[in-house]
């Protein structure tokens, strides 16, 4: 149960940037998986824009699945080490590229069970997994991933417009909750602008499991590969990511212990 799913109900609250930031601050070995069904190669063209070579990612795993290859081994052959903010490879964070074409996600209906099992195997081996699922569709999230998740974070900004979008899609979020025994909660971006995490929690009846500051300049280091401003690593944005990563890693560890009992 060492799998964290990150998604959003509407809009573009920064799911990928948040997933990447959490991975880079994660206290244990971690793999970030780009499984956004609306592919954009955001990590490759943004944070990795310096030219880091990446593999075929999920698309190649589909071929490995059809060929009957050991999927966990094939998956691990596709990952790359994420460079830290200082440009050096992170000793603990790795990245699996996502879909290369908008038509590919529809072909994964029969493949997700095997992918989910392989990701769970990594969790059993001590590697936590953060899956970036982008904006959920009307069908919710892949059921196999939900069934194996230890936590599901619905990322939202804290203004009226994004919260209205979350409200409109409340039934879809509730359907996701019904498919998993995982903790399902909100990951807020910019709490207090204008609504606080406590107000949002009370309104939607969901726990806030992580909070990320709304700092476009600091976030651009992750989303666009922009140079880090002075004091980035000790600033409010990075500090919030570290705190949230520690909290979410604890949620996954608790979920794994419950399964083991």
In this structure, what CATH number is given to the domain that contains residue 136?
A: 3.40.50.300
Q: What is the mean pLDDT of residues 232-257?
A: 91
- Whether the per-residue pLDDT at 53 is higher than 70: the answer is no
- In this structure, are residues 143 and 179 in contact, taking their beta carbons and an 8 Å threshold? yes
pLDDT for the residue 106: 86
72: confidence class by pLDDT, cuts 50, 70, 90: confident
Tell me the pLDDT tens digit for each residue of 165-220. 999 999 999 998 988 889 999 999 999 999 999 999 999 999 999 999 999 999 99
- CA-CA distance, 50 to 33, in Å (whole number)? 20
Averaged over 222-232, what is the pLDDT? 86
Averaged pLDDT, 139-168: 94
Question: In this structure, are residues 95 and 80 in contact, taking their beta carbons and an 8 Å threshold?
Answer: yes
pLDDT of residue 90: 67
Residue 19 clears pLDDT 90, i.e. is over it: yes
Q: What are phi and psi of 32, to 5 degrees?
A: -95, 125
Quickly state the pLDDT bin for 261 (edges 50, 70, 90): low
Most confident of 54-58, 77-81, 237-241: 237-241
pTM of the model: 0.95
**pLDDT at residue 137, as a whole number:** 85
The total number of structural domains that make up the chain: 1
What confidence tier does 162 reach under pLDDT thresholds 50, 70, 90?
very high
Could you give the CA distance from residue 12 to residue 199 in angstroms, rounded to a whole number?
21
pLDDT bracket for residue 86 (50, 70, 90): low
pLDDT at site 21: 95
CA distance 160 to 148: 33
Buried b (16+ CB within 10 A) or exposed e, 74-108: bbbebbbebbebeeeebebbbbbbbbeeeebbeeb
Alpha-helix runs per DSSP H in the chain: 15-25, 42-45, 58-66, 71-78, 112-124, 143-148, 160-168, 170-178, 197-204, 216-223, 236-260
Residue numbers of the domain that contains 79: 3-260
3-class SS of residue 58: helix
Q: pLDDT higher for 5 or 55? A: 5
pLDDT mean over 88-97: 81
Average pLDDT, the chain: 90
d(CA 135, CA 206): 18
Peptide bond into 24 cis (omega under 30): no
């Amino acid at each position: 149960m060492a799998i964290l799913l990150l998604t959003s109900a509407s809009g573009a609250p920064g799911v990928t940037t948040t997933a990447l930031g959490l991975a880079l601050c994660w206290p244990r070995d971690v793999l970030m998986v780009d499984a956004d069904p609306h592919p954009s190669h955001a990590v490759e063209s943004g944070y990795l824009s310096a030219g880091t070579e990446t593999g075929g990612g999920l698309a190649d795993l589909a071929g490995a699945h059809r060929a009957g290859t050991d999927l966990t081994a094939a998956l691990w052959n596709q990952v790359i080490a994420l460079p830290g903010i200082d440009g050096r490879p992170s000793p603990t964070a790795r990245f699996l590229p996502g879909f290369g074409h908008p038509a590919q996600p529809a072909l994964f209906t029969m493949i997700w069970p095997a992918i989910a099992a392989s990701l769970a195997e990594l969790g059993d081996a001590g590697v936590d997994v953060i899956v970036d699922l982008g904006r959920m569709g009307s069908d919710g999230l892949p059921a196999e991933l939900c069934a194996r998740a230890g936590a599901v974070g619905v990322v939202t900004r804290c203004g009226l417009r994004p919260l209205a979008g979350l409200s409109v899609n409340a039934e879809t979020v509730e359907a996701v909750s019904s498919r998993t025994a995982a903790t399902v909660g909100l990951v807020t971006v910019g709490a207090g602008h204008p609504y606080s995490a406590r107000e949002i929690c009370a309104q939607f009846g969901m726990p806030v499991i992580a909070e990320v500051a709304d700092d476009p300049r600091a976030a651009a280091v992750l989303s666009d590969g922009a140079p880090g401003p002075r004091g980035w690593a000790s600033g409010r944005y990075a500090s919030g990511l570290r705190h949230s990563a520690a909290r979410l890693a604890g949620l996954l560890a608790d979920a794994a212990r419950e399964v083991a009992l």
